[in-house]
Amino acid sequence: MSLRIKRAVGAVVFLLLAVSVIGWIQNVVTPKYDWPVHNRRSYKSIRGAFLEPRNSLDAIYLGTSQTFCSISPMDIYNASHIRSYNLASIGQRVPVAYYLLKSILHTQSPRLVVIDASGFFYSEEELLVPGKWEEMIDSLPLSCYREKLDMMKDIARMQNREDDSEYLLSALLPLLRYHSDYHVEEDSFQRLYMNEPYQRKGYVATYDFIAVEEEEVRTARAMLDESDPYADDDDNRKVLEGCIAANEPYLEKLRDLCQAHGAELAFMKVPVCANTRARGYWSANKHALTQAMADRLGVKFLDMCYDDLGLDWQFDAFDGGIHVNHSGARKITARLLDWMQREFGLSSEANAKVDAQWDHQSQIYASEVEYLDLELEHDLLGFLDRVKAGDYTLFTAVSGGIGDYWSDEAQRSLEAVTGTKLDLRDADNGAYIGISSHGHMIEELHDPKSCSTEGRLSDGLQYKVRSKTSDAKKGGTVDIWGTDYAPEGRGIHFVVYDNQLGCVVDAVCFDTSTEQLKAVQETRYQYVMRQKLIEYVHGRM
């Protein structure tokens, strides 16, 4: 080989190597957010939509975080075989929704596009928040380079940064924006090579239940009434009219885009229970303006805030009414499915290959949801039933005495789950500790005043458990690997250790001194559990 050819080959190889390294650096440093850890929309959720088999989606959902917490496409699939995807994102602006839809339409041809109306009320200034755009630009695959550039141009124009060519270029080279941010998360590398569709289909399953204050429930409901006495400056009709007018051009573009691709556009509003702007309230004013917009554009509108879905804001709220948790999402999803089938006759065409893939993912989704259901269970008997069905080690500790409302039924359930023969209502058993698995008691202690134990199970699990009658607040402790998971409170504590995942998956205290047997959660286990669950799900995929 002549020197010239040798050098040319060397230069090309070097160039390829350098470009690969730069590309790798770009992938690593570009943020890959994951809700709710970063309070940003999951990169995986958006990117997953582009990995769906071509033309396999029947419906697309757009909207804000309220939407991605409320609509579970996999639940819809399980109930109807309709394949859909939730492309909502945090504080999704209508222009962003438009570009997301435009991007996904390269590979999908849905028959229905449903957009949540909460994003219609961002003011002209609020449309400008660059972060809301940049997150989505970075989540889109490079094949959507036109949409990426168009989005960047739009946001640059709105910010008077049209001449900032590097900013525009950063749509394709996010490295320009993030090279020194070092947003390298633990699982960045795992997500780099994401090449499988995403089993949650853009839905974000949330697991806490933080009840809405009674006062807020009352005022939020009142705001839905036209004679709303609680409407304040936030709900100023003129301001809201200005907001929706600012979004109208993009809503029109959205409708035209749908029409051009043979899809039907629809509006919806998922239920919220909030009474301030910061918390994303919904009101009669907003409803009326959205309805008027829907009429003007000739689209249908489903406002679920006015529907009786059986939502219980004590247990179906994820964070005090702004979003619903998985329990609430099920109810909303069922309502939306019903509406889509009735109003649009939406159904799915069978596709054996795609259905097989969705069925496989449905199983993975079910195993994820199984854990969520356990966490969301706020009924004592229901909780014991779920524990009985799983491969768990259950730590039980009574704090401040068992109280007056420990029923026969509860006693029988506990016996069935743990295999105990002791009656917790017996005064001698005021302090009680039980460690059981699969209906067999491994270790059990009781004492009128206090008892404690520590040790190591056969799989190496280290524990330290204590029960005291004298301390009503922190009378029960369940320490596993050096962390006390028992929540503060009187009653009976349960800490559930999953033998397969190898971590705690639930920690709850039922207050048996009150008739309601109120459940109190401890969430310290959740971070480790999420990581283990990701590994577990990844292993199954």
Residues 2-21 that bind other proteins (CB under 8 A): 7, 14, 17-18, 21
User: Can residue 22 be called a binding residue for other proteins (CB under 8 A)?
Assistant: yes
Whole-angstrom distance, CA of residue 115 vs CA of residue 103: 16
Which residue type sits at 408? D
Give min distance, CB of 42 to other proteins, in A: 22
Compare residues 3 and 350 and give the one whose CB is closer to other proteins.
3
Compare residues 133 and 383 and give the one whose CB is closer to other proteins.
133
Compare residues 159 and 531 and give the one whose CB is closer to other proteins.
159
Closest CA to 201 of 79, 51, 407, 18: 51
Give min distance, CB of 167 to other proteins, in A: 4
Compare residues 163 and 459 and give the one whose CB is closer to other proteins.
163
Residues 159-178 that bind other proteins (CB under 8 A): 161, 164-167, 169-170, 173, 175-178
User: Can residue 356 be called a binding residue for other proteins (CB under 8 A)?
Assistant: no
Compare residues 175 and 224 and give the one whose CB is closer to other proteins.
175
Write out the two tokens for 358: 């969705």
Compare residues 32 and 279 and give the one whose CB is closer to other proteins.
32
Site for other proteins (CB under 8 A): which residue of 12, 25, 37, 416? 25
Contacts of residue 492, defined as CB under 8 A and 6 or more positions apart, other chains included, come to 396, 397, 398, 399, 402, 406, 424, 476, 509, 510, 512
Compare residues 22 and 416 and give the one whose CB is closer to other proteins.
22
Give min distance, CB of 136 to other proteins, in A: 17
Whole-angstrom distance, CA of residue 189 vs CA of residue 29: 10
Residues 180-199 that bind other proteins (CB under 8 A): 180-181
Compare residues 14 and 527 and give the one whose CB is closer to other proteins.
14
User: Can residue 151 be called a binding residue for other proteins (CB under 8 A)?
Assistant: no
Determine contact, residues 209/317, Cβ cutoff 8 Å.
yes
Compare residues 18 and 366 and give the one whose CB is closer to other proteins.
18
Residues 511-540 that bind other proteins (CB under 8 A): none
H/E/C letters for each residue in 256-308? HHHHHCCCEEEEEECCCCCCCCCCCCCCHHHHHHHHHHHHHHCCEEEEHHHCC
Kind plus residue range of the DSSP H or E element containing 483: strand 483-484
Omega within 30 of 0 (cis) for the link into 130 = no
How many of the chain's residues bind other proteins (CB under 8 A)? 23
Whole-angstrom distance, CA of residue 392 vs CA of residue 502: 10
Give min distance, CB of 125 to other proteins, in A: 20
Give min distance, CB of 96 to other proteins, in A: 19
Give min distance, CB of 180 to other proteins, in A: 7
Give min distance, CB of 103 to other proteins, in A: 22
Whole-angstrom distance, CA of residue 375 vs CA of residue 34: 20
Q: Residue 498: what are its φ and ψ, rounded to 5°?
A: -85, 120
Give min distance, CB of 165 to other proteins, in A: 6
Write out the two tokens for 467: 């029960």
Kind plus residue range of the DSSP H or E element containing 100: helix 94-104
DSSP assignments along 416-467, one per residue: HHH-----TTSGGGSEEEEEEETTEEEEEEEESSEEEEEEE-TT--EEEEEE
Give min distance, CB of 128 to other proteins, in A: 15
Q: What is the per-residue burial (b if ≥16 Cβ within 10 Å, else e) of 440-479?
A: ebbebbbbeebbeeeeeeeeebebebbbbbeebebbbbbb
Compare residues 7 and 106 and give the one whose CB is closer to other proteins.
7
Give min distance, CB of 102 to other proteins, in A: 24
Whole-angstrom distance, CA of residue 509 vs CA of residue 168: 53
Residues 26-45 that bind other proteins (CB under 8 A): 29
Cβ count near 350 (within 10 Å): 8
Compare residues 161 and 253 and give the one whose CB is closer to other proteins.
161
Let me know how long the chain is.
541
Give min distance, CB of 133 to other proteins, in A: 13
Compare residues 131 and 455 and give the one whose CB is closer to other proteins.
131
Give min distance, CB of 46 to other proteins, in A: 22
Which residues are at the interface with other proteins (CB under 8 A)? 7, 14, 17-18, 21-22, 25, 29, 161, 164-167, 169-170, 173, 175-181
